[in-house]
Amino acid sequence: MLLKGKRALVTGSTSGIGLAVARALHAEGADVVLNGLGDADEIAKLRAEMDAYFGDANLLDPTAIEAMMGEIGPIDILVNNAGMQHVSPVEEFPTDKWDAIMALNLSAPFHTTRLAVPAMKEKGWGRIINTASAHSLTASPFKSAYNASKHGIAGFTKTVALELAQTGVTANCISPGYVWTPLIEGQIPDTMAARGLSRDEVINDVLLAKQPTKKFVQPDEIGALAVFLCREEAGNVTGANWSIDGGWTAE
Ligand code: NAD
């Protein structure tokens, strides 16, 4: 039980990668706080499974984030994971989608971080893990807001790592390639339209074409990496951007 006595907030943990990370931290003994949107019964089941508190903030709203962080109190581990995607040519990109993607993928981690850091500094220990993306290191067409937000979170993470370098608090990104989650499934129809392709062509010729392994990354592999970053032995790992992308960004 590596993480017994540690309290962890994982944003966007009602689904996909965040849920796998929450489960991995819980399995190591962390007291997990869940957050995200979704069906109330499903959320109640997840809370019972992990004996978890639920922070109900809609992360598009900074006031709601402040209220949630106040309710939760001090945390040791902050996983900024909630994110959204929209696929569209830049000249047609809906401006409300741009604003929402920036608010959720980039501004929400700023707010949770600024509110979590004082208690971490006081304790002399903390872990901030931001789910970025291969799109924090490279780009794909039709994802202007997503690519901009993910490059942004990578820069934000490095800055926080440098500011906290002598405090016992680390800050790192995990950058997955394509992981089969509702976020990826949801963008297939728009990618079919934007590129004039069938569903199978999008999966094999657009998504897996990027990954030399020809496999989707599994959510629990990301959970294992998050646990590693929380270990004492990872205390000198800070400001890093960890690719877990089947070799995508090695090309
Ligand atoms: P997902 O759609 O399965 O989960 C997203 C989570 O964010 C859900 O829990 C959802 O409820 C929550 N969420 C969405 N809007 C919210 C809001 N306004 N307030 C609070 N919570 C909100 O997606 P996923 O694939 O698990 O993605 C998780 C993270 O991983 C995202 O940041 C995404 O950009 C990143 N990522 C995913 C992939 C992939 O291939 N799936 C690849 C690279 C990076």
Ligand 1 in reach of 183 Cβ (< 6 A): yes
pLDDT of residue 179: 95
Ligand 1 in reach of 129 Cβ (< 6 A): no
pLDDT of residue 197: 94
Other Cβ atoms less than 10 A from the Cβ of 90: the count is 11
pLDDT of residue 187: 85
Residue ranges and CATH numbers for the domains of the chain are 7-179+218-250 (3.40.50.720), 180-216 (no CATH)
CA distances from 174 to 165, 179, 190 (A): 18, 13, 26
pLDDT of residue 127: 99
pLDDT of residue 146: 98
Which of 9, 10, 17 has most ligand 1 atoms within 8 Å of CB, for mutation? 17
pLDDT of residue 182: 87
Concerning whether 146 is annotated as a catalytic residue, the answer is yes
Ligand 1 in reach of 46 Cβ (< 6 A): no
pLDDT of residue 98: 98
pLDDT of residue 190: 87
Strand partners, 241: 173
Which residue has its alpha carbon closest to ligand 1 atom 8? 12
Mean pLDDT in each 10-residue stretch from start to end of the chain (251 residues)? 96 98 98 98 98 98 98 98 96 98 98 98 98 97 97 98 98 97 88 92 91 95 98 98 97 91
Ligand 1 in reach of 82 Cβ (< 6 A): yes
Ligand 1 in reach of 178 Cβ (< 6 A): yes
User: Concatenated DSSP letters for the chain?
Assistant: -TTTT-EEEETT-SSHHHHHHHHHHHHTT-EEEEE--S-HHHHHHHHHHHT-EEE---TT-HHHHHHHHHHH---SEEEE---------GGG--HHHHHHHHIIIIIHHHHHHHHHHHHHHHHT-EEEEEE--GGGTS--TT-HHHHHHHHHHHHHHHHHHHHTTTTTEEEEEEEES-B-SHHHHHHHHHHHHHHT--HHHIIIIIIGGG-TT-SPBPHHHHHHHHHHHHSGGGTT--S-EEEESTTGGG-
pTM above 0.95, yes or no: yes
Among the atoms of ligand 1, which is closest to the Cα of residue 184? 41
Among the atoms of ligand 1, which is closest to the Cα of residue 219? 26
pLDDT of residue 123: 98
From 146, 178, 242, 248, the catalytic residue: 146
